[in-house]
Chain A
Amino acid sequence: MAMDVETLEDSRHHRYVLNMGPQHPSTHGVLRILLELEGEYAMELLPVLGYGHRCHEKIAEHKPVKSFMPNTARMDYLGALIYNHGYAHLLEKAAGVEVPERAEYIRVITSELNRIQSHLLWYGAYLLDLGAFTPIMYAFDDREHILDILEDVTGSRLTYCYFRVGGVSKDIDDKFVTSTRAFIKRLRSRFPMYEDLVNGNIILQKRLNDVGELTPQLCARYGVTGPLLRGTGVDYDMRRAEPYSIYPQFDFEIPTETKGDCMASFLVRFREMEQSLRIIEQALDGLPEGPVMAAKVPKKLKIPAGDYNASVEAPRGELSYYLVSDGSDVPYRLKVRTPSYSNLSVVPEMCQGMLLSDVVSAMGALDLVIPEIDR
C-alpha cells in the first residue's frame, strides 16, 4: 500500500537523496546532481561541478596570449569555432589588429555552420533523453555533412583551432562553397520532415509544454542567456545587441517565443538553424576576394595595459572573455564567462518540486555542455 505522505507530521523524514550522475546519460557529461526526492518529486537539487576542471584560466596566465587559442576550443567542444571567434575578437580589439573582409566572411560562415551543428546534436540528444530514438539518426546524418565540410577547411572535426589573430589559418576553396550550398539546400528540405516527425508529436508536447518555465526577471537574476532567454520573449542576441564581426551586414531574424517553458526554447533553437542558414547564404553570395590574414600581426602580441571584454553569441548564450593585461604578451588574468555556467545555476530554483522525469526534460532544454562549465 502506498504511504500517505500528507498524514505524516514531517514528510522530510521520508525524503531520500539520490545521485543523478556523474555518469547519468541525460547530464551529457560528468555532472552530478544531488536530488532530494519525496516519492518521484525532486524537492531539492544541488548540482555538483568540477569533475572536468582543467584550469584553463590558470594556463592562460602562463603563456603568450596567442597560444591560448586551442584551449578555447576545448571548453565548448560543440561551439569551438565560436569560442575561437570570441577570443580572436578580444585580442584584435585589444591589440588593434585589422581583419581582412574575406576572413570575416569565412569566420561568419564557419561559425554559423558550427552553430547549426551544435543545435543538431542537441536536437538529437535531447529527443533521445526524452525516449525518442529515431531523430538522433537523422540529426547526426545532417550533422555529418557539416563536419565533413569543416574538416576539409580546418583539418579537424570537433575541437577546431582555425581562427588566428588577424584572420583565419587557411583560405576556403570552391569545393567548400559548393558543398556548403548543397548542404543549405539539403537541410532546408529536411526541416519539414523534422517538423512532421517530431515537433507536433503528442508525447513531446506533453513532456515539454509548461515544464521548466522561466521569466525574464528570473533570467536577469541568474544571468541566463541564449535560446532559454529568447524563449521568454526577450530578443537578446549578441549578434544584434552588441554587433561584432560583420553580422550587421546580414538580414536575419532573432526567433523568440513567449512562454519560457521547454517547448519555447525547443522551438527557438529549431528556428535558429533556419536563420543561420540565411546568414550563411548571404555571406556566400557576398564573399569578397582578398587575403584571409592581416599582413602585419606581430609574433609577440603585446596587449596594452588595461582590461578588455569581448562578448559573442555562442550556441548556448552569451560568451564573454575578460582580459586584464599588464602590458606584456601574457595575460595577467583571463576570465571566461561561459553561458552554460549561468544557465545551469538556475536549475535548483527552476526544477524545485518537479517530477523526476520533468527534471530530465528541463535539464535537456538547457543544452548543457559540461566542459565549458568546469573549464
Chain B
Amino acid sequence: MDINQVKKQWQTLSTTIEDIDYAVSGHDYNICLERDKVRDFATLMLEEGFYLVDLMAVHVTPAIEVVYQFAHFETRCRVLARAFVDDNSEIATIADIYQGANWHEREARDLHGVVFVDHPYLFPLILAEEDVDLKPLLKKEGTLKDIDAVRRKPPEPAPEPKTKVKPEGAEAKPEAAKSQEQS
C-alpha cells in the first residue's frame, strides 16, 4: 500500500484530511466526509486492503455523527472517517461493502436511532425488539454538546516565564490546585 497514492484518492472524495499525531490520539488520519461519499470511501478502503475496525455514532449538534475506523494489516495506518446523518437521521449503509458493518450499523440503530438506508436487515441486535424506540445513547437537553466542544483544540502556546505572570499566577493558584487534586 502506497500511502501517498491512497491520500490522493481520498482527496477526491473528502472535504478535509487531517494528519494527526498517533502518539496523542491513536489515529494517523482524520477524514471528514460528505454524507453521499461514504460508500465510495468504503469501496476505496476495501480495495486498498483496509479492514473495518469499528463503526459507531456520536450524538452532537448539528447532527449525529457516524464514525468509521479503519486500519491496515500490513502497515500501521489508522484512519478515522466521519460523516453527519441527514435531517431524518439517515445515511447510506456500507454493509454490502464491508459485511462486518452489518452488525455495527444495527447497533448504531439501536443505540442512536441512525437509519442506514438499504441495510439488508436493520433489526434490533443489542437491544430487545420492544426497545426499538429507546435510543439510549442519545443525549438529553443540557448534556448535548456542539461538535466543536468535542474536537481537539490546537495546542496552547507555551506559558510565559513565571516571573512575568506572578501576580496573576497567585490568584489562579487555588483554582488550579482544586482541579488538580493530588491522589
Chain B residues near A333: list those with CB within 8 A: 56, 58-59, 137
Q: Across the interface, do B98 and A221 meet the contact criterion of CB distance under 8 Å?
A: yes
Chain A contact-residue range equals 35 or more
Q: Across the interface, do B73 and A306 meet the contact criterion of CB distance under 8 Å?
A: no
Q: Across the interface, do B50 and A220 meet the contact criterion of CB distance under 8 Å?
A: yes
Q: Contact check: which of B50, B69, B126, B150 meets A53 at CB < 8 Å?
A: B126
Q: Beta-carbon contacts of A322-362 to B below 8 Å, as 1s and 0s? A: 10111100001101010001100110010000000000000
Shortest C-beta distance, A236 to chain B (Å), equals 5
Q: Across the interface, do B125 and A298 meet the contact criterion of CB distance under 8 Å?
A: no
The chain B residue sitting closest to A48, CB to CB, is B125
Q: State in angstroms the CA–CA spacing of A292 and B100 once bound together.
A: 40
Q: Across the interface, do B46 and A308 meet the contact criterion of CB distance under 8 Å?
A: no
Q: State in angstroms the CA–CA spacing of A304 and B69 once bound together.
A: 21
Q: Does B76 contact A (CB under 8 A)?
A: yes
Q: State in angstroms the CA–CA spacing of A310 and B23 once bound together.
A: 10
Given A309-B69, A324-B150, A332-B145 contact (CB < 8 Å): yes
Given A309-B25, A374-B126, A299-B54 contact (CB < 8 Å): no
Q: Does A93 contact B (CB under 8 A)?
A: yes
Shortest C-beta distance, A323 to chain B (Å), equals 9
The chain A residue sitting closest to B59, CB to CB, is A333
Q: Beta-carbon contacts of A127-139 to B below 8 Å, as 1s and 0s? A: 0000000000000
Shortest C-beta distance, B43 to chain A (Å), equals 12
Shortest C-beta distance, B138 to chain A (Å), equals 11
Q: Across the interface, do B56 and A307 meet the contact criterion of CB distance under 8 Å?
A: no
Q: Does B180 contact A (CB under 8 A)?
A: yes
Q: Beta-carbon contacts of A279-313 to B below 8 Å, as 1s and 0s? A: 00000000000000000111110101111111100
Q: Across the interface, do B149 and A53 meet the contact criterion of CB distance under 8 Å?
A: no
Chain B residues near A220: list those with CB within 8 A: 46, 49-52, 73
Q: Across the interface, do B100 and A345 meet the contact criterion of CB distance under 8 Å?
A: yes
Q: State in angstroms the CA–CA spacing of A53 and B107 once bound together.
A: 12
Q: State in angstroms the CA–CA spacing of A332 and B76 once bound together.
A: 27
Given A241-B76, A305-B151, A310-B26, A55-B136 contact (CB < 8 Å): yes
Q: Does A58 contact B (CB under 8 A)?
A: yes
Given A50-B125, A53-B127, A318-B53 contact (CB < 8 Å): yes
Q: Across the interface, do B26 and A305 meet the contact criterion of CB distance under 8 Å?
A: no
Q: Across the interface, do B136 and A349 meet the contact criterion of CB distance under 8 Å?
A: no
Q: Across the interface, do A337 and B53 meet the contact criterion of CB distance under 8 Å?
A: yes
Chain A residues near B69: list those with CB within 8 A: 309, 320, 322, 337
Given A220-B49, A299-B181, A236-B73 contact (CB < 8 Å): yes
Q: State in angstroms the CA–CA spacing of A345 and B111 once bound together.
A: 18
Q: Does A274 contact B (CB under 8 A)?
A: no
Chain B residues near A349: list those with CB within 8 A: 99
Chain A residues near B152: list those with CB within 8 A: 304-307
Chain A residues near B126: list those with CB within 8 A: 49-50, 53, 374-375
The chain B residue sitting closest to A216, CB to CB, is B73
Shortest C-beta distance, A54 to chain B (Å), equals 11
Given A50-B127, A305-B149, A305-B150, A57-B100 contact (CB < 8 Å): no
Shortest C-beta distance, A331 to chain B (Å), equals 10
Q: Contact check: which of A229, A306, A341 meets B103 at CB < 8 Å?
A: A341
Chain B residues near A335: list those with CB within 8 A: 54, 56
Q: Does B128 contact A (CB under 8 A)?
A: yes
Q: Does A223 contact B (CB under 8 A)?
A: yes
Shortest C-beta distance, B31 to chain A (Å), equals 13
Chain A residues near B166: list those with CB within 8 A: none
Q: Contact check: which of B26, B49, B76, B100 meets A342 at CB < 8 Å?
A: B100
Name, among A61, A335, A346, the residue most crowded by chain B CB atoms within 10 Å (CB to CB): A335
Name, among A219, A222, A302, A333, the residue most crowded by chain B CB atoms within 10 Å (CB to CB): A333
Q: Does A234 contact B (CB under 8 A)?
A: yes
Q: Contact check: which of B26, B27, B102, B179 meets A345 at CB < 8 Å?
A: B102
Q: Does A195 contact B (CB under 8 A)?
A: no
Shortest C-beta distance, A100 to chain B (Å), equals 15
Which residues of chain A have a CB within 8 Å of any CB of chain B? 49-50, 53, 55, 57-58, 61, 90, 93, 216, 219-225, 229, 234, 236, 241-242, 296-300, 302, 304-311, 318, 320, 322, 324-327, 332-333, 335, 337, 341-342, 345-346, 349, 374-375
Told that A50-B125, A57-B111, A298-B183 touch, could you supply 18 new A-B pairs with CB distance under 8 A?
A93-B23, A221-B51, A223-B51, A299-B183, A300-B180, A304-B152, A305-B150, A305-B151, A305-B153, A308-B24, A308-B26, A309-B26, A311-B26, A322-B56, A324-B150, A326-B145, A345-B99, A345-B103
| 16 chain-A/chain-B pairs, Cβ below 8 angstroms | A49-B126, A216-B73, A222-B100, A225-B51, A236-B73, A241-B73, A298-B179, A300-B181, A305-B150, A306-B152, A308-B25, A309-B69, A311-B26, A311-B53, A322-B67, A333-B59
